[in-house]
Amino acid sequence: MNLVKWLILAAVFCFSVSSSAAQNLLIYAGAGLIKPMEELKQNFEQKYKVRVNIHYGSSGELFGMIATGKYCDIFIPGAYKYTQDALKNGWIIQKSIKNLVLHIPVIVVPKGNPAHINTLSDLAKPGIKVALGDPKSPAIGKVSKKLLTNLGIYKEVLKNTKVLAPTVNQLLIYVALKQVDAAIIWQDLTAWAENKNKIQIIPISPQNNIIKTIPTAITIACKQKKLAALFNEYISSPEGLKIWEKWGFKPCSK
């Protein structure tokens, strides 16, 4: 949606709620999106005088909550697959889906790379201690399994895996504390993590990598569809995308 159209939508919304009580939204968002989402939320609340509540968790956890009937207005998982599955189940509105930014997997190691990790194949070497996302929970877990399976080394790496973490944020902590030699996480997380000075990034070769798209969508159950649509337009607007970029995310449009 171009800027003029977005401004028209914003003006219509402001007029429609000017005489009503404060409204609010409930959003389910991936744990790895917390930094940009918090800034986007605060800006939106200040601009439109509404309240936005965000529940953060692994994409699998959030998907499961919707599956069991938990209410939310907007669903923003860490990978498009969860949105696709939600659409197949009739839980989200198809025309509301917007692709926002990219999730790019990387290997992270403790500063100095003491185990000399250079490629994904190195994670399968005997004695290497690895942390992976749980394939049943965070989006990075599913992606990591696919990456390693494509190379034919998943079983070997799994033998070296000391922990299957429920969220991507925990993987970074294990590496920063030198409890493991390496983990696979999203590149954007390394741009803002408090312990980013304790880690080192090892890029995954483009021919082997699996880059994911982060989408947003309004749920069928949403009771504030105009407000939800305005929020989605804001976080995908030029102003919103600048905030995503600030926190290390690459917009899909670039």
Q: pLDDT tens across 103-142, in order?
A: 999 999 999 999 999 999 999 999 999 999 999 989 999 9
- Is the pLDDT at 56 greater than 90? The verdict is yes
If one counts every other C-beta atom within 10 angstroms of the C-beta of residue 106, the result is 17
Number of helices (H), then strands (E), belonging to the chain: the values are 10, 11
- Buried-exposed string 121-138: b where 16+ CB fall within 10 A, e elsewhere: ebbbeeebbbbbbbbebb
Q: Rounded to whole angstroms, how far apart are CA atoms 45 and 210? A: 35
Q: Rounded distance, CA 75 to CA 3, Å?
A: 23
- Domain spans in the chain, listed from the N-terminal domain onward: 24-103+212-251, 105-208
CATH code for 105-208?
A: 3.40.190.10
Task: Please determine, for residue 48, whether its predicted confidence score (pLDDT) is greater than 50.
Answer: yes
Phi and psi, residue 119, nearest 5°: -140, 170
pTM of the model: 0.82
Same topology between domain 24-103+212-251 and domain 105-208: yes
Q: What gap in Å lies between CA 79 and CA 90, rounded to an integer?
A: 18
CATH class of 24-103+212-251: alpha beta
**Alpha carbon distance 157, 126 (integer Å):** 9
Any binding-site annotation on 163?
no
Name which residue leads in pLDDT, 49 or 253: 49
pLDDT at residue 16, as a whole number:
47
* Residue 253, annotated as binding a ligand: no
